[in-house]
Structure 1
Amino acid sequence: MDASGSQQQQQQQQQLDDDWDDFSDSELLDISTELQSIDSQQALVDKTDGKQSMVGFDSPCESSTSMHDCTKESSGHQTGDVRGLKRKSLHEDSLNPMQRFSKRHLSVTLLCDQSWCEMKTVYNILKPHVKRKEMQCAEVQMGIDIHLSRELEIQDVIHVDIRTREDAEALKLLNMLNMIPLLETGKCVREFPVFGVQEGVFIMGVIDELMYNQKGELVLNELKTRKQHSMPSSAQDKVNCFQVALYKLLFDGLVRGEVKKDHILDHLKLRSHQVLGAGVQAHAKKIGYHVATFEDAVDAFLLTMTCCDLPCIDLLQLEYYHQGSKGSIGIRVVPFDEAQLRVDLKGYLEYWTGQREPKGVDIEDAWKCRSCLYEQTCDWVKNRLQISNQKAAGVN
């Protein structure tokens, strides 16, 4: 094999290694929410002894003390919805995918998956057990350990009992309310929730880290852990850049006051007058807020966002961290092109709103299929092979 052939083979191998090679705090949280299979926890930052505290909440299941065996309702999904996904077909003309898969919102991570391969994203929903198996690999578990260790550097963990979806979403808002003044005073905050409505779809995510640099710029830093001691391929880099750009779009929308009360209540189907649980009210009081209902929490949050001095995000960066050596690989500063981001996002959301059928990767990205667990059953791959065979038969 000549040098050019060897180099091409190495590039292809790096591309294959990049599939599920990069992980971040927000991705791990979002993925566990989508699967409803990992610990029922959320982050709530609190100052205790000069250190931030991460508040996890117990999901409304059989017992408020069982955090590892209960199904998380804060994602906005019904437990029965997930059980029924495997029985649902890839195409149902009567319902759009948001309705078919019982989704009140989409996560940033789900959209990132879609930007890698839309067909894989759909199959992951239809066959959650396959996705769950993929998430149990050693690289993912190592990434989880690294992120947890980093999180605990500035946060302690406490728990707040929740009983309803309104409790869970109120805790997210209280989390943000408590982090806003910390960020305003120049402190670093982690796991900052962001959300907003784009193209009529409610989108939620969690920013890994927000901090100010020496120039006074507000920096969004997204940590990615990698098993390879190298920067990612262009294909993976594109996904990561899309992720942080979408985070900025959502954060800036919050700062500008673009998110309204009706967006939160109507899209997530939450009850405005639902009385919050005793644990949630007690914690709200501890951090300086007196809220009795979910609407109180929403009003407090929106008022604070209107009055706060937070700017829009100035700088986006990706920090790559090697799992093996636990050392830095490098930092990638990401340019923000809002016009292109909105074009890409609109295209992805057109599938979810039923304007088009799901699509697989383009022919130049067919190498992604080689590491996909659905390669043998994927309709997109079968159709591509059929077309290829027809063309070959025509030539002969």
Structure 2
Amino acid sequence: MADSHSGLPPFKDDDNTHEGFPNIPVEIVSDEEMALIEAALAAAVTTSRSSSSVIHSTSSSSHSLFNTRSIHSITLLSKRGIHSTQPDIEDLGKIPITQKKIKVNESLLQRFKRNKPLAVTDITRMEWCEKQMEFSLLSGVRKKTKAMEAGIARHAMLEAEVVKKVKVQVQSIEDIWALKLLNFIVGVHQLVLEGLTRELPVMGLVEGVWIVGIIDEIQMLEIDTTKIPMLIDTKTRVRDTIPAVPQRRNGKLQLMFYKFLLDNLISDGLSIRQFFDFFSLNPHSTLSEEISDTTTSIGFTAKTLDDVVRYYINCCSMLPPTHNQLLIRYESQKDQSIIVEDKFAYDHGWLKTQLETQLQVWHGQREPECTPQEERWKCRHCQFAFDCPTNA
């Protein structure tokens, strides 16, 4: 794979056009590619309240003050799938869609995300197929495939190029959230000082819903002596072919959403009172000694979660708004070579429409719909195909 510091196409401030693709064969999708779509939409990572956590530290010795990053962080919330197991494709039609007794008019958000944030991948999976997402929630069935595991391993490899992991003990939910915020803080320090960071956690209150996500990569571009952060996503493919239009559209939605969340943090910070209330956190809870020592190693002193939150908000203001140009790299799973780089402009209006459309389903304002007729090829690979109304 090309060096991430030099493998970018040239950018112009007024360049809002979509780059044309090179002459590479295009296919709709194969079984293997469908598995990779699943990996891109939501890696099946399960999180729990553990007695210990893991910290990331930058490998650069020249910036030792800013050398800790938390892996027990929003990464786990953002990259995990809704469920932990998924049957093989030969088991299609054998999946029981069980439903608990629920209150009348109780929404998907109330049933499956009560007091929990939505992930950006929850939104993108709903955009891929609303009915598939509903079946996935109702059945609780999901499984990591080999292709998904390969995608997860590749992202871990990319992360390991810029950070290393160190275990840190936690004693409370406030400790865990402090580490999540420290993960962001150190990532921002690394971006400012070194011009590159990966796996940066972001979150925000959007339309009354808490949403979290993980940005694959941010590079600091220098344009006319001004430094501007640019968001980049890496997606792996089994076949060396350009992804189909729905795949590219879904990837663009995901990356635009990350930009939206990060820009909101930069301009508005965090909704402090709503944050503490929603996640049932005590802002004045004393952090463990190990967490406090970690904040000191980063360059500030924090005794309580409130101290960390306030530094977190100050850290958000260190960054300028991100570049309107976004980049998705599609690379070969065989040798990490670049298949194509999809450069596109941020479209706030389109993102807003997509978000409102998907939140209508989460809020129970309308029923989930099947994928459009022209995209029914997705159904050939869907584990819920035999239960779907499209096959009635």
The answer to whether TM tops 0.5 is yes
Preserved contact between residue 212 and residue 219 of structure 1 (Cα < 8 Å): yes
Structure 1 residues 22 and 102: CA distance shift in structure 2, 3 A: closer
Distance 1:204 1:140 in 2: 21
Matched, 1:245 2:252: no
1:22 deviation in Å? Answer: 4.4
Pairs within 5 Å for 1:6-85: 13-14=28-29, 18-22=33-37, 27-28=42-43, 31-33=44-46, 44-46=56-58, 49-50=61-62, 54-57=69-72, 75=77
SS at match of 2:254: helix
How many Å separate the matches in 2 of 1:90 and 1:337? 41
**Offset, 1:45:** 4.5
Q: Which moved more, 1:208-217 or 1:219-228?
A: 208-217
| Paired position in structure 1 for 2:151 | 143
Structure 1: tracts of 5 or more residues without a match? 1-9, 60-71, 386-396
Could you say which residue in structure 1 is the equivalent of 2:234? 223
Q: 1:157 and 1:270, CA in 2 relative to 1: closer, same or farther beyond 3 A?
A: same
Q: Percent identity of the aligned residues?
A: 25
* Correspondence for 2:376: 366
Question: Structure 1 330/75 Cα, relative in aligned 2: closer, same or farther at 3 Å?
Answer: closer
Task: Give the corresponding residue for 1:263.
Answer: 274
1:182 — aligned with what?
190
1:119 aligns with 2:128: no
Residue number in structure 2 paired with 1:345 = 355
Query: How far apart, CA to CA, are the structure 2 residues paired with 1:139 and 1:37?
Result: 28
Is residue 283 of structure 1 aligned with residue 294 of structure 2?
Answer: yes
Q: Which amino acid letter does the alignment assign opposite residue 381 of structure 1?
A: T
| Residue 362 of structure 2 corresponds to residue 381 of structure 1 | no
Q: Report how far residue 165 of structure 1 moved.
A: 2.5
Q: CA deviation at 1:300?
A: 1.7
**What are the ranges of 5 or more consecutive residues in structure 2 without an aligned counterpart?**
1-24, 86-95
Measure the CA separation in 1 of the matches of 2:38 and 2:155: 9
User: Any residues of structure 2 matched to 1:327-338 within 5 Å, and which?
Assistant: 327-338=337-348
CA distance in 1, matches of 2:27, 2:100: 33
Q: In 1, are the aligned partners of 2:200 and 2:215 still within 8 Å (CA)? A: yes
Alignment correspondent of 2:160: 152
- Given residue 116 of structure 1, which amino acid in structure 2 is its aligned partner? W
1:115 Cα offset (Å): 0.8
Aligned equivalents of 1:305, 1:331: Cα separation in 2: 29
Distance 1:375 1:26 in 2: 19
- C-alpha distance in 1, partners of 2:280/2:257? 23
SS of structure 2 residue aligned to 1:231: coil
Name the one with the larger helix percent.
1
* Alignment CA distance shift 1:198-1:56 (3 Å): closer
Find the residue that maps to 2:199 and give its secondary structure.
strand
Normalised to the residue count of structure 1, the TM-score between the two structures is 0.77
- Match of 2:35, SS? coil
In the superposition, relative to structure 1, how do residues 339 and 254 fare at CA in structure 2: closer, same or farther (>3 Å)?
same
Aligned counterpart in structure 2 of residue 316 of structure 1, from 308, 326, 332: 326
Q: Give the SS at the match of 2:302.
A: coil
Between Structure 1 and Structure 2, how many residues are aligned?
Answer: 346
Q: Is the 8 A contact 1:42 1:172 kept in 2?
A: no
Residues 27-85 of structure 1, C-alpha deviations (whole Å, 9 max, x = no match): 53xx414x7699x966644465248655444x9xxxxxxxxxxxx99749xxxx999x9
Number of the residue aligned with 2:177: 169
Partner Cα distance (1:246, 1:43) in 2: 26
- TM-score (ref. length: structure 2): 0.78
Tell me how far 1:230 sits from its aligned partner. Answer: 1.4
2:203 counterpart letter in structure 1: F
Residue aligning to 2:120: 108
CA contact (8 A) 1:322 1:329 kept: yes
Displacement of 1:310 after TM fit? 3.0
Q: CA RMSD in A?
A: 3.3
* Whole-angstrom distance in 1 between the partners of 2:266 and 2:126: 27
CA offsets 1:323-379 (integer angstroms, 9 cap, x no match): 11221112110221101110110110111122122222122222211100111123x
Could you give the per-residue CA deviations for residues 68-108 of structure 1, whole angstroms, max 9, x where no partner exists? xxxx99749xxxx999x985359753422122114421001
Contact 2:179 2:291 survives alignment (8 Å): yes
Q: Are residues 1:326 and 2:339 paired?
A: no
Superposition deviation, residue 118 in structure 1: 1.3
Question: Aligned partners of 2:343, 2:102: CA distance in 1, in Å?
Answer: 40
Work out the CA distance in 1 between the residues paired with 2:374 and 2:174. 45
Q: Secondary structure at the match of 1:156?
A: strand
Structure 1 pair 365–93 and aligned structure 2 pair: CA distance change class (3 A): farther
